[in-house]
């Protein structure tokens, strides 16, 4: 396992907000992530909430603007925010904001030039959890996952594929069906290829549910003034999939809210508390 480098640590709400870096075997690049560890008794372990960020973001967006620390301190939950893609010299990129670095879509790419480094599924599902378990006081039997936009897509799909691992799954304005929106078609086509779209289904929350993935419940908040609502996000598709599968979906359309961190930060504490109730 790679050595963990501490970049910054700051006292916050009695706990410690840290930013860390390590050399990833999955991506073949340095990867940076943030971890908030609430104050706790020595020797105890705490539940963990994973947060996956959206297009163009790094770990810093939610760390700086997510307003989660007070709620996590009150609930005794460790909050982990990875980056959204590999980065650096020699890593393939694209001029568009919705593809390449900053837009890893939480897939393991199979197409060139993306396949050597764009392995965010393996990084988030396997490598980073092993590192976190070794370095932080986490109880890995009590994990929840959430995310925003592209990260909401990541949270839903990773949660559905690993239903036995996560006790709670939520999302903010998620891309619920990449098979049915321009962002998803571009990303999955570019990273996985267009020859066999059946390979895309494991990266689509609605398709996973249609194919048999089951969890007891999901929580989704969506702003009704979100500029991407109709074309890219389509939460009604998730509602239909959950209704057909008997999954208890709480889908809350929040009046007047857009796609920004003003929206995410408004409902972040509510999501943390929701997860806390299920991570006991």
What CATH number does residue 259 fall under?
3.40.50.1820
Instruction: Find out whether 259 and 221 touch, Cβ atoms under 8 Å.
Output: no
The CA distance from 267 to 256, in Å, is: 13
Whether 275 is a known active-site residue: answer no
Decide if 169 is inside a domain: yes
Model pTM greater than 0.95? yes
Domain range enclosing 181: 41-57+90-277
Helix (H) / strand (E) containing 271: helix 261-278
- Tell me, yes or no, if 196 is annotated catalytic: no
In the set 34, 53, 226, 271, the catalytic residue is 226
- Catalytic pick from 149, 168, 170, 177? 149
State the Cα–Cα distance between residues 104 and 121, nearest whole angstrom: 9
Nearest to 50 by CA among 129, 161, 149, 134: 129
Q: What is the pLDDT along the chain (280 residues), one digit of tens a residue?
A: 679 999 999 999 999 999 999 999 999 999 999 999 999 999 999 999 999 999 999 999 999 999 999 999 999 999 999 999 999 999 999 999 999 999 999 999 999 999 999 999 999 999 999 999 999 999 999 999 999 999 999 999 999 999 999 999 999 999 999 999 999 999 999 999 998 899 999 999 999 999 999 999 999 999 999 999 999 999 999 999 999 999 999 999 999 999 999 999 999 999 999 999 999 9
**Overall domain count for the chain:** 1
Residue 189 within any structural domain of the chain: yes
Task: Tell whether 160 is covered by a domain.
Answer: yes
Active site residue 22: no
CA distance linking residue 276 with residue 280, whole number of Å: 7
Q: Looking at 22, 117, 153, 259, which residue is catalytic?
A: 259
* 67, part of any domain: no
Assigned domain for 152 exists:
yes
């Amino acid at each position: 396992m790679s050595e963990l480098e501490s970049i910054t640590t700051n006292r916050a709400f009695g706990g410690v907000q840290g930013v860390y870096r390590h050399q990833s075997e999955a991506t073949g690049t340095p990867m940076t992530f943030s971890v908030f560890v609430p104050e706790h008794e020595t020797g105890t372990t705490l539940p963990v909430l994973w947060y996956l960020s959206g297009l163009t973001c790094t770990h810093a967006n939610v760390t700086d603007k997510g307003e989660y620390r007070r709620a996590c301190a009150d609930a005794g939950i460790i909050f982990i925010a990875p980056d959204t893609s590999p980065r650096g010299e020699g890593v393939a990129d694209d001029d568009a904001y919705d593809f390449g670095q900053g837009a890893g879509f939480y897939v393991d790419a199979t197409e060139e030039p993306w396949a050597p480094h764009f392995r965010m599924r393996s990084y988030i599902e396997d490598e980073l959890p092993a590192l976190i378990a070794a370095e932080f006081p986490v109880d890995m039997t009590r994990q929840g996952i959430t995310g925003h936009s592209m990260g909401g897509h990541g949270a839903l799909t990773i949660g559905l594929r690993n239903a036995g691992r996560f006790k709670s799954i939520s999302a903010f304005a998620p891309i619920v069906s990449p098979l049915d929106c321009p962002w998803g078609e571009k990303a999955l086509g570019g990273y996985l290829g267009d020859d066999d779209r059946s390979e895309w289904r494991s990266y689509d929350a609605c398709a996973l549910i249609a194919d048999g993935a089951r969890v007891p419940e999901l929580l989704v908040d969506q702003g009704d003034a979100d500029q991407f609502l109709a074309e890219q996000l389509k939460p009604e598709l998730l509602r239909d999939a959950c209704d057909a599968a008997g999954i208890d979906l709480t889908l809350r359309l929040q009046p007047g809210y857009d796609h920004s961190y003003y929206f995410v930060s408004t409902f972040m504490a509510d999501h943390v508390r929701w997860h806390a109730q299920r991570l006991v």
